């Protein structure tokens, strides 16, 4: 019989739903499985998938590792949007188009385990702190660059949630008072410049003005097909225009990160998401911008790192947050 305790981790993404089983004491996730979230079906259909996938994953782990049903001690669920953690309610998720949905109670009604719900960027940040690029650090800011820009802040091994579970929204800090319109309704948020769709939109604008670039060929002159991923692809083959777009992106992110560093003085900043594929084309200008803007002692004290768990930080972090909440972790 196995002495191991396990936690199920669930990452509800705007695009993909991923479920895995994580050792409560730490270790890589097992029995990972995913499918399209397809949130338009409504939250009940997604909850049905979560429960089915969690049961399958637990069965698979038991088949391989042995052990009993009681060895699974909880389930952590990461979900986009502001979360009321105390009540386990998704207050509003523009990505999923869910509102005031009692996610924790709905999952808990169908499984035998206690359920802990947190924001998806908090989960990814916690995953990178617990088992990824930020292992062993005392203070860490995580920034997820995808459809939006999310963030999380860990101090002394605990997520900082703030007064209403909203702490860490670095993507919606203002970097330009009268700048680009953001999905949140404000103008000039970091997200409006450096999220995946914003990178694509900025690239497209230059192409429409006649910039020469391999991007034209990559999308067969259908500029609406330009995405952040095609921009990274062009950067990696040495395209000058795309590299310029990436340098600008790095400056925007660098400004946002310098704001976070000056505010929080973290030991580590972890950047997560497809944007890290641009490698040194991102990190060299980004770090230069941070040095230009952050106080030197704080910039010196901070390591800025790419994520180490690009596909699983959300699952690992959701499980880790649940493990901590359920008293399975020290600290």
Name the site residues for Zn ion (rule: CB under 5 A).
172, 182, 184, 186, 189
Run of H or E including 205: helix 196-208
Considering the complex, what minimum distance in angstroms separates the CB of residue 172 from Zn ion? 4
Q: Are the CB atoms for 95 and 139 separated by under 8 Å?
A: no
Q: Which CB, 91 or 184, lies closer to Zn ion?
A: 184
Considering the complex, what minimum distance in angstroms separates the CB of residue 143 from Zn ion? 14
| Terminal Cα-to-Cα distance of the chain (whole angstroms) | 28
Considering the complex, what minimum distance in angstroms separates the CB of residue 119 from Zn ion? 15
Strands 303-306 and 268-272: parallel
What gap in Å lies between CA 25 and CA 330, rounded to an integer? 9
Q: Which CB, 92 or 308, lies closer to Zn ion?
A: 92
Considering the complex, what minimum distance in angstroms separates the CB of residue 162 from Zn ion? 17
Considering the complex, what minimum distance in angstroms separates the CB of residue 186 from Zn ion? 5
Q: Which CB, 170 or 207, lies closer to Zn ion?
A: 170
CA 276 to each of CA 6, 130, 239: distance values in angstroms, whole numbers, following the listed order: 31, 20, 17
Q: Which CB, 24 or 189, lies closer to Zn ion?
A: 189
Q: In sequence order, what are the beta bridge partners of 23?
A: 6
What gap in Å lies between CA 328 and CA 50, rounded to an integer? 22
Q: Which CB, 174 or 262, lies closer to Zn ion?
A: 174
CA-CA-CA-CA dihedral for 31, 32, 36, 40, to nearest 10:
80
């Amino acid at each position: 019989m196995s002495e191991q305790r396990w936690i199920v981790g669930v990452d509800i993404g705007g695009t993909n739903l991923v479920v895995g089983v994580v050792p409560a004491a730490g270790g890589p996730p097992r029995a990972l499985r995913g499918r399209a979230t397809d949130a338009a079906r409504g939250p009940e259909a997604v909850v049905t998938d979560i429960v089915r996938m969690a049961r399958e994953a637990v069965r698979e782990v038991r088949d391989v590792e042995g052990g009993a049903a009681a060895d699974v001690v909880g389930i952590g669920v990461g979900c986009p949007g502001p979360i009321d953690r105390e009540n386990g309610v998704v207050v509003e998720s523009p990505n999923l188009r869910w509102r005031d949905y009692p996610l924790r109670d709905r999952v808990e009604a169908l499984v035998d385990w206690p359920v802990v719900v947190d924001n998806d960027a908090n989960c990814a940040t916690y995953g990178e702190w617990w088992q990824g690029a930020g292992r062993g650090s005392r203070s860490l800011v995580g920034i997820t660059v995808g459809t939006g820009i999310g963030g999380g802040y860990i101090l002394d091994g605990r997520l900082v949630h703030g007064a209403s579970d909203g702490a860490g929204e670095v993507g919606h800090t203002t970097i330009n008072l009268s700048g680009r319109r953001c999905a949140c309704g404000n103008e000039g948020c970091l997200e409006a410049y450096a999220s995946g769709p914003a990178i694509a939109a900025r690239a497209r604008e230059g192409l429409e003005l006649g910039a020469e670039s391999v991007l034209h060929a990559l999308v067969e002159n259908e500029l609406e097909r330009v995405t952040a991923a095609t921009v990274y692809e062009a950067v990696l083959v040495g395209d000058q225009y795309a590299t310029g777009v990436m340098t600008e992106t790095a400056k925007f992110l660098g400004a946002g990160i310098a704001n976070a560093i000056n505010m929080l003085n973290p030991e580590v900043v972890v950047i997560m998401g497809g944007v890290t594929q641009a490698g040194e084309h991102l990190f060299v200008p980004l770090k230069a911008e941070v040095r230009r803007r952050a106080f030197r002692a704080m910039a010196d004290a901070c390591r800025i790192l790419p994520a180490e768990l690009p596909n699983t930080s959300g699952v690992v972090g959701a499980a880790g947050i649940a493990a901590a909440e359920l008293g399975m972790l020290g600290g």
